[in-house]
Structures are given as C-alpha cells and as structure tokens.
Structure 1
Amino acid sequence: MTDLPHTDFTQRFIFDDSDARGELVSLELSYAEVLAKHAYPEPVAQLLGELMAAAALLVGTMKFDGLLILQARSEGPIPLLMIECSSERDIRGLARYEAELIAPDASLSDLMPNGVLALTVDPTEGQRYQGIVDLHGKTLSECFTNYFVMSQQVGTKFWLNADGKRARGMLLQQLPADRIKDEDDRAESWRHTIALADTLKAEELLGLDNETILHRLYHEEEVRLFDAQSLRFHCSCSRERSGNALVSLGLHDAQNLAAEHGGKVEIDCQFCNQRYLFDAADIAQLFAGAGVDTPSGTRH
C-alpha cells in the first residue's frame, strides 16, 4: 500500500467473505482551512467537521463527475451548514449561526430544530439530483443513516466525529447478494458487521489510524484496505464568477449599486472571505463584454 497522502484522505475497504464495503475519512488541513475563515463556536465547528466528513465519504463511494452539495437547514441557532465537495476531491464549507443562542452542551435538536438535510449531486453532464429528508436523529451520523434508509433503500450506516482539530468518519454499506445468498444469513451478517462497528468509540475514531481501527473491529474478518485518495480545501470562487453575478443584475442596477457604495461594489466569497472589488470602469468593461482580466483591485 502506498504512503498515506498527508492528513486529508478517504480510504475504501471491502469484506472478502460478506457482502459489505466501507469507507474511512480523515480531514485535518482542509478542516483547519474551513474553520480559519470564521470564528465558529465549538458546537458549530464540530457539526461542520462532521458534515465535511460525510461529504468526503459520499464522494469516495459515488461515481460521478461534478459537485456534491450537502445542506442542513433549520429554524434554530444554526440555520445553515453547507459543504461542497467536487469529484476532483476539492472541499469547502461554511455555517450560519447566532452565537448568543448556542449553549456549549446543546444537542443537534437544540441547535437545528425543524431541520432538513438536502443532498444534491450536480453533474458536469446530465441531470441534477436532489434528495431531502428531515433532520431526525440525535446526531448527524443518525441523520445520514436515516437518509439512506428512507431515500436509497440501501443498507448504510455512518459514524461521524469532529473535535475542532480533526474530522473523521466511517461508512458501511451493504452490497448486492454475492458471497452470501441466503436472505437470513445475509441479514445476520450485516447485523454482525454493524454491531462490531458500533463498539468504536469517538476518541478511537479520532485518534487511531485506519489499519488499527479495522484490526480493532474486524480482526476475525478478511478485510482488504485499498489505497488512500487525497482531498484538499479549495474554493472555486473567482473574479470572473463575481463579475458574472454583477452582469446578472443588469447594467442599471450594477451602476446604482456602485453609486450607493462610494463608487465600488464589493463581492465577498462566503466560503473563503476573498473580496472582489469592482469600480465604475470595471462595470463598464464587464457590460461591454471585455471581461475583468485587469481589475482595478482585489483584496482579502
């Protein structure tokens, strides 16, 4: 097996004698990059890390070219958690929150009451897909497990943990009947696989390497661990995209917006805090179809 790619990667594994597969994820640098963009309270940082881990696990198990978007919305102190992860394994995320309403020991239901979880796959080619379920569960792990039970009808279970420094996750999923044909034996094998995984403590998932985790859980099983696949934090914002957003307003509204703000329009990326500035000359250039390759200025 090749050396692990730094600190941010997913790693697939498969059971040779039963119809199940799994995926493990570790995120450190990309998680730190997301948290560095905003002063998130600890409970927000934890949920954001868990959602990042879930997105990475899903991209690791899905075959598509494009973008996976996870959004958790609610009517509570955290109205929005959002993660985007591309098939190129670039990941970014953000949260909206009201710090004064967040208690340190708040549960998921306290932080995100009446919440919904939306999973969107936006392929480079083909039709956009979205699935939505209620945020029913004590943890995000339970919510994702429920999503697959309700929308995919595929035996799937998630374990997600984050502590502000590292985000980790594990996914187990049933495969079509192959090794085990008998329905009762197949169901019992799946229950056994899940029961062993449920003995994994949060501190073990956060602190142990993948080989140790799998040996700890399945030392009596034949498990193959595949090469790791790296991920990285990367924001897809650009001056060009920001300019396109201005163009979508129309020339008159874009000019008025600049006039109202001292002659310049500021467009901030919510994910990475990059700021793009457009003055009257930039706006005229945009609407003349000349683009914005020579900006008057950008700054963070």
Structure 2
Amino acid sequence: MTDQLNKYLFADQLTRAQTVELSSAWQTGLNHQSYPDSVRDLLGELTAAAVLLAGNLKLDGSLILQAQGDGPIALMVVECSSDFTVRATVSLREGATMPTEGNLQNLLNTYDNGKFIVVLEPKSGSDLQPYQGIVPLEGDTLAEVLENYMKHSEQLDTKIFLAANGEKANGLLLQRLPGTGGHIEGTDAPEEPSWDRAQQLATTIKQDELLALPAAELIHRLFWQEDLMLLEPTPLAWHCPCTRERVSEMLAMLGREEIESILSEQEKIDVSCNFCGKPYQFDPVDCAQLFIAKSDQLNASDTLH
C-alpha cells in the first residue's frame, strides 16, 4: 500500500527506522499547481520530511515546517496534522530568475539569509503552548538541514534520506534512541550497536532507489540481516480545508464596492487556494449573491435581537 508511514524498531531498541511513501496524496496536492521541477521536488522532499518528523510526536495538533529564503523561493510551507493529513505550498519571488539546476541553496539561500522553522501547533483549546524552533539553512540538502536541526535543537542523532518527483515523495528516517547497548547472547562482549550498522547500510541508498522501491523492499534490501519489529502502519492523505463557502466569505469581506470595482475591469473573479491551488470562479451573479446572503444574515440577527 502506498501513502503510508511505516515504523520499525531494531532488536536492541537503540534504533528506529521510518519510511514514508506519498503517491496519490502527493499527486492530489499537485493537481492544481504548476511548479518548476526543481521547486516541486524540493517541496516534495519537505512534505515527506514533515510526515517522518510528525511520526515521532505525541501532539494533538499540527507540525509545520517552513523554509524562508532570499532566492527564487520566498517561502515553502508544509503542514502535517496529528491525523496524518498533509498540505504544502510554495511562494515564488516575483521577477526572480530560476536557476537551470535548482537546489536548496540557490533556490532558497542565495544570499545566506535563509531560515528553517519548525512549528508545533496544538489544537485550539489545548493547554499546550505553541513551539517554534529556528535554525539557519545550513547544508546542501533539506535532509542535512533537518539532521542539523534534530542534532542541535532536539539532541537526537538522526539520518534522513529524501527524494521526490512529479509522481512520488518518499523518505527514510533513522534515529538513535537512548540506551546502553545490548550483548551478544552467551558472551560478555558488547554487541555492535544497531545505530552504527544502520547508518553504514543506509548510506548505500540512492535517490532513484528511494523513489522506485516499495518501502518494504527498501527496508529488506538495507537491513535484511537485522531483526526488525514492524509497528502498525499509518495511512496518509492530502487534505486542504479550502471550500467555495470559505472563499465566498473572504470575498465578501472585501466589500461590495471593491468587488464591483474588480468586476468593472474583468468579467469574473478567479481565486485560487494558496495551498492546493484549487481554482474558484465567481461571475457577477455569484458576487451579487455574496452580499444578498450577507444582508439576509444581518437581517436575521437584527430580528433575533
């Protein structure tokens, strides 16, 4: 099954591994968007990373990853909720020249002012306070930026492998867990920690393999000699809460005069969701209905009072 998060625990309980596969969910997210390939792939990597990091959290709310840049990409944002629905978006800097071979540094950190931000946003009404961590965009890849963040902000040794294209957004995470190490049965000699072995084996993986191989096959190829415990898989889905009703409310807030001014210059109003790019169209009749509905609501409120 694709579109899921898989979790594994090594026998000595010193290492955990996670894989994420996003295919139909990722394609849903791209359905109404048109990004340059390098931008799309970078956003896919960040989306896979958000799922991997959210998989280790006990939070009723959302994990939000943001990369703010001074290059052609002004902002990338991915949100993964505690029910493992995701959404993602990119804001491109107007007038910026897109590099032929786009990468993290020349797309986001052209003048070394880029920032990487991790936000933990509890659900409304929670007693928990939001958390925000900010680090520089140091590293040649998003995986390196994330590894640096986990090492210095969370004190966790982590290895992350990410790959994305127009069809898939996949990733692998290895994380060292607190412990003292195991022993080889029948001897007093300490066993080589699984963390050391896992790191060495994982460095052999290539990006095309990460995209081409199903998660189970990837894990088997890398760790076939290991005794792994597979935990319950978590299904993933793309979800954007935009609706025509919400867009209507936003347009109504502009006011009748502003809407009529826009319609005097064009036959209809086209609005696209910032996150999923889904288009919404409002002709003059639709726009008139916005204010009829608003007037009816106000009259109903006055009647109640």
TM (norm. structure 2) is 0.81
In structure 2, the residue corresponding to 1:204 is in which secondary structure? helix
- Distance in 2 separating the partners of 1:235 and 1:192: 40
Cross-structure match for 2:100: 104
Cross-structure match for 2:79: 84
Cα displacement (A) at 1:268: 3.2
Q: 1:268 aligns with which of 248, 272, 296?
A: 272
Cross-structure match for 1:200: 205
In structure 2, the residue corresponding to 1:171 is in which secondary structure? strand
In structure 1, the residue corresponding to 2:73 is in which secondary structure? coil
**1:120 equivalent in alignment to 2:119:** yes
Letter in 1 for 2:114: G
Matches within 5 A, 1:3-14: 4=1, 7-14=2-9
Cα displacement (A) at 1:289: 4.5
**1:279 equivalent in alignment to 2:281:** no
In structure 1, the residue corresponding to 2:83 is in which secondary structure? coil
Letter in 2 for 1:116: K
- Checking the alignment, whether the CA contact within 8 Å between 1:23 and 1:61 is kept in structure 2 is no
Cross-structure match for 1:132: 134
Identity of aligned residues (%): 35
- Checking the alignment, whether the CA contact within 8 Å between 2:10 and 2:194 is kept in structure 1 is no
Deviates more, 1:219-228 or 1:109-118: 219-228
Cross-structure match for 2:47: 52
Please give the per-residue CA displacement for 1:162-205, whole angstroms capped at 9, x wherever unaligned: 12221110111122216549xxx799643332122111111221
Cross-structure match for 2:163: 161
Cα displacement (A) at 1:211: 2.4
Unaligned 5+ residue runs, structure 1?
292-300
- Distance in 2 separating the partners of 1:187 and 1:72: 37
Letter in 2 for 1:137: G
Letter in 2 for 1:195: Q
Cross-structure match for 2:256: 255
Letter in 1 for 2:174: L
Unaligned 5+ residue runs, structure 2?
184-189, 300-305
Q: Which has the larger radius of gyration?
A: 2
- Checking the alignment, whether the CA contact within 8 Å between 1:257 and 1:265 is kept in structure 2 is no
Cα displacement (A) at 1:287: 6.9
Cα displacement (A) at 1:120: 1.4
Cross-structure match for 2:302: none
Consecutive aligned runs of 4 or more in structure 1 exceeding 6 Å deviation:
none
Q: 1:21 aligns with which of 13, 16, 19?
A: 16
Cross-structure match for 2:187: none
- Distance in 2 separating the partners of 1:175 and 1:91: 26
Distance 1:241 1:187, change over 3 A: farther
- Distance in 2 separating the partners of 1:223 and 1:18: 9
